[in-house]
Each structure stands twice: as structure tokens, then as C-alpha cells.
Amino acid sequence: MNNETTDGAAVLVPPPLLHLVVGVVGIALNEFIWPLPFAFSASIRLAIALAIAVPSIVLVAGALKLFWATGQNPEPWIATPEIVQTGVYRFTRNPMYLSLALLQIAIGIGLGNLWVVLLVAFSCLIVQITAIRPEEAYLEGKFGSEYLDYKESVRRWL
């Protein structure tokens, strides 16, 4: 194993996969157990879904652009050479995870599936435990007071 993979956060499951699995569970609950549809028409749901999905995509694109501009890999298990504190990272420490949560909400609304929307809280909890905590422990250990100062001045989600 090279230093890039041994010097990363101990994130074992990619957060997009976690959101996908929880979203599929929401779809299954709606289809087979207990339907929780939205009362809005399909056109209103689609408009709301797009109003959430577009900023979500812009948010993740901004985060990825900053990672690539600084020569970093966005995968959390790869070594982090520096803390990105500009752009969207001035407002949230986890713009990619925030984007995933917003996208799950948008998909649930677009599908007319309230389960997918309600389960976003569970998705975020799982990401918090399996990704954010290990990432923050890694960053605190690697960057010390620099990361602690950043953590103090920028909120985790919003």
C-alpha cells in the first residue's frame, strides 16, 4: 500500500453509496410496505425537485473544482495534503455530503416518495458516523490547530 491510501481517513463505505442504499430502502418501503406519497401534482414536484437538485449539483461541482485545483483527490480515504478553506468550504465543511443530502431530498420529491425524503435524516446520521467522524479525527490528527480553527469557524453542514 502506498502512502496516499494509508494516510487517509478511515472511511470504509463511500457516502454516495450510503445515500443510494437508503434511497432504495425508501423506494422499497413506499412500494411494498407503506406508501407515503406527496399531495402535490407531478409538475409541482418536478419544479421543487429541480429547485433543490440544481443548487445541489452546483455545490458539489464547486467543491470538486476546488479539490482538483489544489491537486487533491476528493475520495475521503486518500491522503489530504492541505485543508481547502475557500469557495464553498467557507460556508460548510462538508459541501459534498450536504449536496448528497439535498439530492436525496430532490429525488424523493421528484418521485413523489416521502420515505426517500424522510430517510435523508438517517442517511446523514450514517454519513456522520461512518465518514465525517473518521475524516475529522484524521484531519485533527494531521493538521492539529489549523483544522481545529477551521472547524471552529465553519459549520459542519450549513
pLDDT tens series, the chain, 158 aa: 444 446 889 998 999 999 999 999 999 999 999 999 888 899 999 999 999 999 999 999 999 999 999 999 999 899 999 999 999 999 999 999 999 999 999 999 999 999 999 999 999 999 999 999 999 999 999 999 999 999 999 999 88
Q: Could you tell me the pTM of the whole model?
A: 0.91
**pLDDT score recorded for residue 6:** 62
Report the DSSP beta bridge partners of residue 37: 113
* Alpha-carbon distances of 145 from 2, 83, 85, 123, rounded to whole Å: 27, 12, 14, 30
Name every residue whose Cβ is closer than 8 Å to that of residue 54 and which is 6 or more positions away in sequence. none
In Å, how far from its chain's centre is CA 53?
Answer: 13
- The predicted structure's pLDDT at residue 4: 47
Distance, in Å, from the CA atom of 117 to the CA atom of 64, rounded to the nearest integer, reads 25
Domain boundaries, the chain: 42-74+81-158
Q: CA 108, 121, 56, 35: dihedral to nearest 10 degrees?
A: 0
64-85: b (≥16 Cβ within 10 Å) or e: bebbeeeebeeebbebbeebbe
Strands (E), the chain: none
Burial of 19 (0-12, 13-18, 19+ CB in 10 A): buried
Grid cell at residue 18: 450510503
| The CATH number, out of the four listed (3.50.50.60, 1.20.120.1630, 2.30.30.90, 3.10.450.50), of the domain defined by the range 42-74+81-158 | 1.20.120.1630
- Rounded CA-CA distance 98/156 in Å is 9
